[in-house]
Amino acid sequence: MESNKKYWKGLEEYKNTPDFVKNNKNEFAEPLPIEDVLNEAGLSTVTPRRDFLKALGFGLGAVTLAACQTAPIHKSIPYLVKPEEVTPGIPNYYTSSFNGQSILVKTREGRPIKIEPNPNAGEFNCGTDARAQASVLDLYDVSKLKAPVLKNEETTWAKIDSYVKGELAKAQSGGKKIRIVASTVNSPSTNAVLAQFITKYPAAKLVQYDAVSYTGIIQANQNSFGKAVLPKYNFDKADLIVSFGADFLGTWISGEEFTSQYTANRNYKSLEGKKMSRHIQFESGMSLTGTNADTRVPVKLSEEGPALIALYNAITGQSLPGGTLGNNATADKVIKLAAKELVQSKGKALVVCGSNDVSTQILVNAINAAIGSYGTTIDLDNPCFLYAGNDAEFNGLVAEMGRGEVGAVLFLNSNPAYDYVDAKKFESALKSVPAKISFADRADETASLCDAIAINHNYLESWGDANAYQGYYSIVQPTINPVFNSRQAEESLLTWADAPVKEYYQFVRSNWETKMLPAIGLTWSDVLEKGVVTVAPKPAAAYSFTQSLAQVATSIVSSSKALSKDIQLQVYENIPMRDGKNANNAFLQELPDPVSKVTWDNYVALAPKFAETLKVKEFDVVTVKGSNGYSVDLPVLIQPGQAQGTASIALGYGRTKVGKAGNDVGKNAFPFVSFINGTMQYATTVTITPTGGFYELAQTQTHHSFEGRAVIKEATFKEYLKDASAGNHKGDHKNYDLWDEYEKPGNSWVMAIDLNACTGCGSCVVACNVENNIPVVGRDEVRRRREMHWIRIDRYYSYETPTGDVTKEKEIAKLEDLDHVSVVHQPMLCQHCDHAPCETVCPVLATVHSSDGLNQMAYNRCVGTRYCANNCPYKVRRFNWFNYWNDSRFDNYLNNEFTQLVLNPDVTTRSRGVMEKCSMCVQRIQAGKLQAKIEKRPLKDGDIKMACQEACSANAIIFGDANDPNSEVSKALRSERIYYVLEEINVKPGIGYMTKIRNTDTTVQA
């Protein structure tokens, strides 16, 4: 199909660079014989039997003992599995909670191996993010401490208790303050523990500190409405969404929940009902949310505030000063358009902003009040409790410590020596505190400065609860006995407080049975089985804005002017690393950034034209120096869509004391954050200077090319309303089959993927990794194009041209405007073709077709010719270069006795020299069939779900039986939007894609 859009994966393909041409034509990078590679490195993939037995000594034995005891000390209720006793080969499921989100934990023979969303979670059953999927690996992390530490030496819990009690008593009697520094605490039981602790030590106080702060929104709501809360946002109730730098589909507040809401108004079911929300995004750096917007406008950080003032003026008819955008004519035009549409959508519109500046958020409140958002798309009466940190309070604590007023400080799930804006000032102040205690599970940047480390359990070893939203509670229960000699932080606090109940399980249960269960009519066993408790929400009231905005506008203009001097730097959270707490998780390090497709590093993102003015090229190393004197050397990444005159650097990297996988990966960007007007600010000014160095980033995106063929199909919502097959008109060419057709009398397993729902977050990639024992290969191997992911998310850039077609390869050089690109994300995995070209060229029949439509791999037949990969038009087959589970170079993941316990026993761990690819989770298919057989019933639609499908918050992936005309996948595949990638070559793929629809049309003219 001819189009006036041209898609390309990266600038290498866009510019057709010599390196890209060379690598693109070379099917297999660096085809050295494996033995030669190993001999050069002086390594062997063979582990001597003696070394294996040594490894079995403490490590494997300790975890196995923890797993093999019949249950945690107190009985946990498996989710719908009775009896509780472990049956070899049969998984048990336990409800638990991860960051306030209710989950199911799959265990095999007592080992937690997989995280799934909890179907009981109701409106909060919204898939799982990449961190939740990867979190099971943290349980087996060898970088954790094995026992508590006192004065830099391992010790006993009795000695820890004696030391801490003595120090707390000394601080209390000496008139010194006691401070507990914790990231947001939303657990009712933990708060009850803290209350008992403070009763024992009245000098104690909780200081909540979040590495990435939302204090600006909380304080703005206190100023505007007298409610110091983080609202509950309802994106599913918004017909029009206007966002200013808020990555609400990614890292802003609750990305998975917002994704589920957002796609409910944009997926294939919504489109079939002739309904689609509209989304306009203003931002400086290209975010995950920006890539999904219908209209995305690059703006400088200094233009964000004036743009909001201009929007407010256009909506209300007011004339606040400062609403001019200078030379950004595009932004000015779209602001006027957005204002008209917001007024038209009153009561069904939402404006959000990612800034942490109080004045900016007050202005956003005024805009939302003017368009009737409160009580509909914004709920202040059922608020979110995920973030409650107070920036000014923590900053005051640092000053208190520096003045010698604090006698003891305890750190719970917080690491300010790494993520505070001025780590040196914090460390200096900490030296003045006589007693420093950390609950970290490792000697991290802060814990290593402490006198005692009372190592905390992993959440999979813990009891507890969470209250993420008003009226929504989730339970935390252990799925394995403690692997190491750790103790839950709450139990330590109860012990030090001489509480009557020191065992935390009893405390949690008593807290629920006395304070919560009587009101809701459930038993403790009910709560453990369901995993969640929901209380009827309060009515969401409408709120009017009555404050004066004169001072607010003055403050915004002043901040904007301060940013307009030098290069404007945005520091932000990316999807894999977030705030860096999980930096030692190899699954997350190797997850490609959804936009840049970079793994294992952060970088400086610059717009192509701006990079030219700075005389730097991609991968050139530059020095980025902030106004506070802090500087880092980082490689440049050329990012289409980045606003001119701006740069972006991801937080969460540059850890120094987290573990083998995360130490010294990238550079720490937290020192670029500044503390201004009582809150942390993530926009600043910097200078950028070339160093002359070169550092190749490990990217996955441009490892293969589709040579300009139509793999993406798009249309506008206006076109779709006229013709449901818009953008998907078939050609007139005839197809001729070289293969015989075969019947599928039983099942025919197929998949449909809705490109309108897929946001590109990558949660499915990690879920697939965990489910199918996919190895992490590391930075150097990714650079060699050897990543092993069975599912990848391809990211395509494109933009409209005024006239003519640009589908020909030779015309790509004519394209110049890289500021206003649009992006499409496309999940790509083995297509399980009925006429699979890989099958016909395998000399040993290692890849064959099953009677139910699956392209299967027989690993013990494969001899590694790679003919199949050469013949695969989708480039979804992976070649195992090494025994990743038994090679010392890959000890960040599988090459140790602990992390091998995360492996799924239902999936073969592949050896070197074989091909592998998506199996369509055949083990889940077989398990579903077996369960139906045991229950003596036919297999039902929905009995079997793929790992990628279950993790997806957007429900973009639909799997099922094509032979069942009433299955969800059959209904989806009958959509007129369905097309098959490269269907012109007639390999008959088993995965159908739905055209991407953008709501770029409007009846309002700017």
SS3 string, 368-398, reads: HHHCCCECCCEEEEEEECCCCCCHHHHHHHH
Mean pLDDT of the chain: 86
Mean pLDDT value across residues 936-954: 92
What whole-number distance in Å separates Cα of residue 155 and Cα of residue 383? Answer: 43
pLDDT in tens, 459-492: 999 999 999 999 899 999 999 889 899 999 999 9
Residue 25, token pair as written in the block: 């034509």
Of 4 and 346, which is predicted with more confidence? Answer: 346
What whole-number distance in Å separates Cα of residue 928 and Cα of residue 926? Answer: 5
Q: Are 60 and 53 in contact (CB under 8 A)?
A: no
Closest CA to 831 of 853, 861, 858: 853
pLDDT in tens, 831-840: 999 999 999 9
Beta strands in 640-741, from DSSP E residues, in sequence order: 646-650, 674-676, 679-681, 683-694, 698-699, 714-716
String of DSSP letters for 661-681: TTTT-S---GGG-EEETTEEE
Closest CA to 587 of 574, 606, 600: 600
Instruction: Indicate whether 1003 pLDDT > 50.
Output: no
Closest CA to 607 of 564, 644, 636: 644
Residue indicated by tokens 């020095």: 623
Beta strands in 290-364, from DSSP E residues, in sequence order: 295-298, 349-353
Q: Going by DSSP bridges, is the β-strand pair 604-606/646-650 parallel, antiparallel, or unpaired?
A: antiparallel
Residue 811's SS3 state is: helix
Residue type for position 592: P
Closest CA to 527 of 480, 464, 469, 457: 464
Q: Measure CA 510 to chain center.
A: 35
Q: Which of left, alpha, beta for 303 (phi over 0: left; psi -120 to 50: alpha)?
A: alpha
Instruction: Indicate whether 50 pLDDT > 60.
Output: no
Angle, CA of 142, 143 and 144, to the nearest 5°: 90
Angle, CA of 289, 295 and 300, to the nearest 5°: 75
Percentage of the chain surpassing pLDDT 90? 66
Closest CA to 975 of 728, 744, 793: 728
Mean pLDDT value across residues 785-812: 69
Mean pLDDT value across residues 53-66: 44
Residue type for position 820: H
Instruction: Indicate whether 511 pLDDT > 50.
Output: yes
Mean pLDDT value across residues 441-446: 94
- Residue 911 confidence (pLDDT): 85
What whole-number distance in Å separates Cα of residue 807 and Cα of residue 546? Answer: 54
Residue 855's SS3 state is: strand
Residue indicated by tokens 């050329």: 638
Instruction: Indicate whether 806 pLDDT > 50.
Output: no
Residue 626's SS3 state is: strand
Instruction: Indicate whether 145 pLDDT > 70.
Output: yes
pLDDT in tens, 746-781: 899 999 999 999 999 999 999 999 999 999 988 989
Mean pLDDT value across residues 167-183: 93
Q: How confident is the model at residue 402 (pLDDT cuts 50, 70, 90)?
A: very high
String of DSSP letters for 61-97: HHHHHHHHSSS-SS---BTT-SS-S--TT--EEEEEE
936's CB contacts (< 8 A; 6+ apart) are: none
Give the long-range contacts of residues 148-153, CB within 8 A, separation 24 or more.
148/452, 148/453, 148/454, 148/455, 148/485, 148/486, 148/487, 149/443, 149/452, 149/453, 149/455, 150/451, 150/452, 150/453, 151/451, 151/452
Q: Are 824 and 712 in contact (CB under 8 A)?
A: yes
Instruction: Indicate whether 41 pLDDT > 50.
Output: no
Mean pLDDT value across residues 949-976: 93
pLDDT in tens, 871-910: 999 999 999 988 887 777 776 666 777 788 888 999 988 8
- Residue 79 confidence (pLDDT): 47
Mean pLDDT value across residues 845-849: 92
Q: How confident is the model at residue 732 (pLDDT cuts 50, 70, 90)?
A: low
Q: How confident is the model at residue 425 (pLDDT cuts 50, 70, 90)?
A: very high
Beta bridge partners of 625: 631, 687
Mean pLDDT value across residues 569-595: 94
Dmax (CA) for the chain in angstroms is 89
Does residue 83 have a cis bond before it (omega within 30 degrees)?
yes
Closest CA to 210 of 412, 401, 361, 408: 412
String of DSSP letters for 162-223: HHHHHHHHHHHHTT-EEEEEES----HHHHHHHHHHHHH-TTEEEEE--SS--HHHHHHHHH
- Residue 76 confidence (pLDDT): 53
Residue indicated by tokens 């998907």: 728
Lowest mean pLDDT among 599-608, 705-714, 806-815: 806-815
Instruction: Indicate whether 75 pLDDT > 60.
Output: no
Of 958 and 74, which is predicted with more confidence? Answer: 958
Q: How confident is the model at residue 670 (pLDDT cuts 50, 70, 90)?
A: very high
Beta bridge partners of 96: 103
Q: How far is CA 585 from CA 116, 383, 581, in A?
A: 18, 31, 9
132's CB contacts (< 8 A; 6+ apart) are: 98, 99, 101, 103, 115
Closest CA to 237 of 265, 260, 256: 265
What whole-number distance in Å separates Cα of residue 134 and Cα of residue 127? Answer: 14
- Residue 901 confidence (pLDDT): 86
Mean pLDDT value across residues 83-96: 77
Entry pTM: 0.89
- Residue 121 confidence (pLDDT): 82
Q: How confident is the model at residue 690 (pLDDT cuts 50, 70, 90)?
A: very high
What whole-number distance in Å separates Cα of residue 155 and Cα of residue 165? Answer: 16
Q: What is the phi/psi pair of residue 430, to 5°?
A: -65, -30
Q: What is the phi/psi pair of residue 485, to 5°?
A: -85, 60
Closest CA to 783 of 656, 887, 655, 881: 881
Q: How far is CA 164 from CA 435, 491, 532, 575, in A?
A: 8, 14, 35, 38
Q: Which of left, alpha, beta for 853 (phi over 0: left; psi -120 to 50: alpha)?
A: left
Beta bridge partners of 741: none
Q: Are 62 and 483 in contact (CB under 8 A)?
A: yes
